[in-house]
Structure 1
Amino acid sequence: MNQASSRATSGEPHHVIIIGGGAGGLELAAKLGRKHGPKHVTLVDSRPIHIWKPSLHEAAAGTLDIYQEGLSYLMLANLCGFTFTLGEVQAVDRERRCITVAEVQDPQGDVVLPQRELQYDTLVMALGSVSNFFNTPGAAEHAVTLDTTESAEAFRLTMLKAMVQVDNAKVQNPSAELNVVIVGGGATGVELAVELHEAGGMVAAYGLQNFRADRDLIITLVEGAPRILSALPEKISNAAHTRLTELGIRVETDCRVAEVTADHVRTADGREFAAGLCMWAAGIQGLPLMATLDMPVNRIGQLIVNGQLESPDPNILALGDCSAVPTGEEGRTVPARAQAAHQEASYLVRKLTARIRKTPEPTEPYVYRDHGSLVSLGQDTGVGSLMGKLAGRGLFVSGTLARLMYMSLHLMHHHAVLGIWRTGTLALARLLLRRTHPRVKLH
C-alpha cells in the first residue's frame, strides 16, 4: 500500500496543496482556508510576498512601490486560515502524491529552510506563466520581462540610472537620449508604455535639470499583429493607439522582431530601433515544471485540463495561466486573464469543498464568462469594454471612468483575499501615504 492509499484509509484530513500564490492560487487558498482551516489547505510559493501581477508594469515604471504594495503570505495565512510553505517546487511525484520543495537560503548562502516533501490528496497547479521569447535570437540575453517583482524592480533601477546618465551627458552632448523599446502591443505593453512616459516626466521634475521626458525619452512599442490590443475590440485598440500617439509614443505594427542585441531591436522586414532598454511583453508560456508531470501540455507548455479543471490525473487540478481550459468552442481555450483565474478559483472552491467533506462533487463544467477588459492609459485615464460577449458586444468606456474601474479590479482582488473591512483600511492607508511620498520611486 503506498502513502497516498494509507492516507485515504487512515481517516486523515483531505489535504489540498496549491502551488503558486498568484491571483487565482491565493484567492483559492484564502477561500478554502476560511472554510476548512490550515489542516486541509497549504499554499506553496517561492516568494514570501504576494504582488498582484497586473500591477507589475507600475512597479517597473516606479509609480508603485512593491515593498509597500506587497502582502505577506504568512500574514495572509494567519488571517485566512491556511498553511503557507516558502520555497520553489522542484518535483511532483504523482505515484506517491507528494511534492519536493527546495531549500531556502539567505543572501549569504546559509540554509534557512531545508528541502522538504509535502504529501497531498489533491494538488492544484496555479503557477501562472513566464514570458515566451519564441526562440528570438538575443531576446533572453538582452530583453527584460515582467514575470517577477525582481525583474520589475531591476528594470526600474536600470531605467532610473539611464535617465541620470542621459541628464549628465546632456552637458556635453545635447542630443543624448534614452531609447526604450517595448516588444508586444498587448495590455501589458500598452500600459507599460504610458506608465513609463508619465514616470519619466515625474522623475525629471524631481531633480534632473537637463532631462526632459517629452524630448529625451523615446519609447517605441513594437507589435507583430496589424493593431495593438489585437485580442480586444477594434474600438478599444483605436482609442489606445490614439492615446499613445498623443503622448509621443511611437507605435509600430505588423512588425515581427527577428533579433534583440545589447543596443538595438531588429525586425524581420529590416527595420531597426535603437534600444538602450528592451522590455519583452510579447507572449506567455508555461513553467518548465509543467512539462515534468508526464501529462499532455499544449504548444506553449500549459497543462491541458478538462471542463472540471482536472488533468488526466484526477488528483491534479490546474487554474490560471498555467492551464489550457476548454471554452466549449472547437480548439479554443480560456484566455490568460486575471478574471479567468478569479472565476476558476471560485469554481474550485465548491469542487474541493466536496472532496474535503467527502460529498459528491459538482458535475457541471466551468464556464468562462467574459466581463470585458480594461486597459490603464495612465494615472488619470483608461479605455475598455464592459460585459464582453455577454451582450453580443461590449459597452465602450474611456477616460477617468475607465481608469477608476481599472483601479477597482485591484480592490476586488484584495476583497476576495482580505474581506471588505481590511481592504477598505488598506486602500485608505495607501491614499494617505501618497501625501508624504513622491509619485514615483526615486531610489
Structure 2
Amino acid sequence: MASAKKKQIVVVGGGAGGLELVRRLGAKYGRDDHDIILVEKNRTHIWKPLLHEVAAGSLDANMDEVGYGGHAVRWGYRFFNGALERIDRDKRQIVTQPMFDAEGREVVGRHHIRYDYLVLSVGGVSNDFGTPGVAEHALFLENRRQADDFRGRLLNACLRVSHLAANQGADDARVRVCIVGGGATGVELAAELYNAAAALRHYGLEVFDESRMDVTLIEAGPRILPALPEDIAGAAHEELENLGVEVLTGTMVTKMDETHVHTKDGRAIRADLKVWAAGVKAPDFLSDLDLETNRLNQIVVRPTLQTTVDDRIFALGDCASCLLPGRDRPVPPRAQAAHQMAETAFENLKRIQEGRPLKDFVYRDRGSLVSLSRYSTIGSLMGNLVGGRMAVEGRVARFAYLSLYRLHLIAVHGWLKGWTLIVLGHVNQIVRPRLKLH
C-alpha cells in the first residue's frame, strides 16, 4: 500500500454518500500527503433511486452508471475492488474478503488496508422481517445486478404471455406482479411497470400492452407513502388505481411460495414476479465489527458521525443510526440524509486533522417526491425549512424530482462534468430507445 507517512483515509462503500465523500476528499487533498481509498465490492455505481427504472427497462444503466476506476483517477483517490470482512481497531486496519470469479477461482486474496481514519458507508438492504419464503421467492431491488435480473424475468414473462395470446388464443393471459411495500420504491416501480408495458407493443410484442399487466401493491400500514402528508399519499393511491394497480393497505404478508403471496387476512395472491420493497436495515455483517449497533444492524454514531467506541471511525447513510439532540427518532435512511452526512463527514475529517472542534450533523428535511413514471409526480417540498410542508404536483413536482438527480450528478462529478452529463441526458432522451430489452 502507500507510504506510512501519508494520512490514509479509507471509505468503505461507494453509494451516493461514500462516492461524494471520496470525491470531496480527493479534490481537497489529492495524492501528495494523503492517500484516499474507496473500498467497494462493485465496480460501478448507479444512483439507488433509479433502480426501479432499470428494473422496468425504462433506464439503460450502462449509460448512467459511474465506473469507480475512472472516477478515482479523475478525482485523486484510489479504488480497491473488495468487500469488508472485519476491522482491526488496535492495528487500525480493515480486512477485505477474498474475491472469486464465476468459476470459483480466487481473483484477489484477503487484503489488509491501513487507515488513519475510516468511514463506513455501506448502505442498507431490504428487511424481510423473517417472513417465511421471502428470501427464496422474492426479488429485491438493492443493486444493479438485482435490477437487471428483474428486467430479464419481466421481459420473459411478457414474451410468454404475448406468445400465449397470439398463438394459442389465451385472451386471459396476464403478467402478474406483486410488490410488497408501499414506500417510494414500491409505488414508483408499480407505475413504471405500466409505462414499460404500454411501450412493449412497439418492440415486437404486438399483442401485449398494459391491459395484460396485473400489479398488486401490498402495504402493511394504513396507507402508502407514510413519509408524505396523507392527502398527497391519497392522491398517489388514486393515481395508481387509475392505472390499474390493486392497492392493498393494512395488509400483512405472512409467507411467500413459488406461485403466491399469502396475507394475514387469508388471501393467496397469485404472482409470476414477487418484489420485496418493505423495510430497510443495515447489512448483517456490521453487527460483528466490534462497534455499537442497533437492532437493525446500523452503527450507532454521535452527532459528529463518529462511532460511539472509536473516534477515528465514522459512519454515514443508511448504515448509520444518528439520534440528534432534541429528536425522538434517528435520522431517516434516505438519499438526502446520506448526501448531507457526506458533507458533514468531509468537514469533520478536515477539522480532526487540523485539531479543531468537530461540528454536529444537522439534518434538513427537503421534503419527499415520488414519480409515478410519465403519468404524474407528487410530493412535498421544503420540509422543516419553512416549518411545514408545501404540497407540489405536476410540472413543478417533476422539475423538483429531476433536480434531485442533477444535484447528485454535480455532487459526484463536480460542476463542470455534472452539468455536461445533465445536458447529455437530455440529448439521450431523444436518441435512446424508450426501453432497454437486453
What is the TM-score of this pair, normalised by structure 1? 0.94
Answer whether contact 1:380 1:400 (CA < 8 A) is retained: no
Aligned pairs (5 A) from 1:314-329: 314-329=311-326
1:380 Cα offset (Å): 5.3
Deviation by residue 1:293-315 (Cα, 9 ceiling, x = unmatched): 12221121111111111112112
Report the AA paired with residue 256 of structure 2.
V
Once the 2 structures are TM-superposed, how far is the Cα of residue 212 of structure 1 from its aligned partner?
2.3
More off after superposition, 161-170 vs 380-389: 380-389
Residue 67 of structure 1: which of 39, 62, 70 is its match?
A: 62
Q: Is the 8 A contact 1:380 1:399 kept in 2?
A: no
Which aligned runs of 4 or more in structure 1 are off by greater than 6 angstroms? none
How far did residue 95 of structure 1 move? Answer: 1.6
Instruction: Look up the equivalent residue of 1:91 and give its one-letter code.
Output: R
Matched, 1:228 2:224: yes
Deviation per CA, 1:170-228, whole angstroms, max 9, x where unpaired? 13222111110000000111011111110111123321122221x21000100001100
* 2:398 aligned counterpart, secondary structure: helix
Q: Give distance in 2, aligned partners of 1:108 and 1:411.
A: 39
Paired residues for 1:295-306 under 5 Å = 295-306=291-302
Indicate the residue corresponding to 1:3 in structure 2. none
Counterpart of 1:267, as a letter, is: T
Give secondary structure in 1 for the equivalent of 2:49: helix
What residue identity is the alignment partner of 2:41?
Answer: S
Aligned partners of 1:435, 1:393: CA distance in 2, in Å? 38
Contact 1:42 1:85 (C-alpha < 8 Å) held by counterparts: yes
Shift of 1:361: 3.2
The one-letter amino acid of 1:218's match is: D
1:336 is the counterpart of 2:333: yes
Q: 1:178 aligns with which of 156, 175, 179?
A: 175
Task: Tell me the equivalent position of 1:427.
Answer: 422
Cα distance in structure 2, aligned partners of 1:11 and 1:67: 38
Q: Which residue of 2 aligns with 1:4?
A: none
Identity of aligned residues (%): 42
1:92 and 2:78 correspond: no
CA shift at 1:395, angstroms?
0.9
Q: Is this contact kept in 1: 2:227–2:368, CA < 8 A?
A: no
Tell me the SS of whatever aligns to 1:342.
helix
Q: Tell me the residue number matched to 2:310.
A: 313
| Deviating more after overlay: 127-136 vs 230-239 | 230-239
Choose which of 115, 126, 130 in structure 2 pairs with 1:135. 130
Cα RMSD of the aligned pairs, angstroms, is 1.7
Query: 2:382 corresponds to which letter in structure 1?
Result: M
Counterpart Cα distance in 1 of 2:81 and 2:53: 26
3-state secondary structure, aligned to 2:255: strand
Q: Distance in 2 between matches of 1:244 and 1:57?
A: 16
Amino acid at match of 1:53: K
User: Retained in 2: the 8 A contact 1:197–1:217?
Assistant: yes
Write out aligned runs for 1:141-160 (5 A).
141-160=136-155
Structure 2 CA distance, aligned partners of 1:326 and 1:226?
Answer: 26
In 2, Cα distance between equivalents of 1:327 and 1:144: 34
Letter in structure 1 aligned against 2:239: R
Corresponding position of 2:22: 29
| Alignment correspondent of 1:20 | 13
* 2:252 maps to 1:259: no
Residue pair 1:14, 1:40 contacting (<8 A) in 2 also: yes
**Residue type of the partner of 2:152?**
L
C-alpha separation in 1, matches of 2:357 and 2:5: 19
Query: Does the CA contact (< 8 Å) of 2:283 and 2:297 recur in 1?
Result: yes
Matched, 1:47 2:34: no
- Where 1:158 maps in the other structure, the secondary structure is helix
**Could you say if the C-alpha distance between residues 295 and 104 of structure 1 is closer, same or farther in structure 2, counting changes exceeding 3 Å?**
closer
Alignment-derived partner of residue 408 in structure 2: 413
Query: CA-to-partner distance for each residue in 1:118-175, whole Å, 9 max, x for gaps?
Result: 0011111100011100000100000001111100000000000000001111132221
Partners of 1:437 and 1:140 in 2: CA distance: 35
Shift of 1:110: 4.3
Separation in 2 of the partners of 1:279 and 1:407? 25
Give the equivalent residue in structure 1 for 2:189.
192
Q: Is the 8 A contact 1:380 1:403 kept in 2?
A: no
Name the count of aligned residue pairs. 432
For structure 1, the 5+ residue unaligned runs are: 1-6
List runs of 5+ in structure 2 lacking aligned partners. Answer: none
| Aligned mates of 2:356, 2:385 — CA distance in 1 | 31
Contact preservation (8 Å) 1:132, 1:284: yes
2:264 equivalent to 1:268? yes
Q: Residues 182 and 219 of structure 2 are in contact (CA less than 8 Å); yes or no, is this contact kept in structure 1?
A: yes
User: How far apart are residue 11 of structure 1 and its match?
Assistant: 7.7
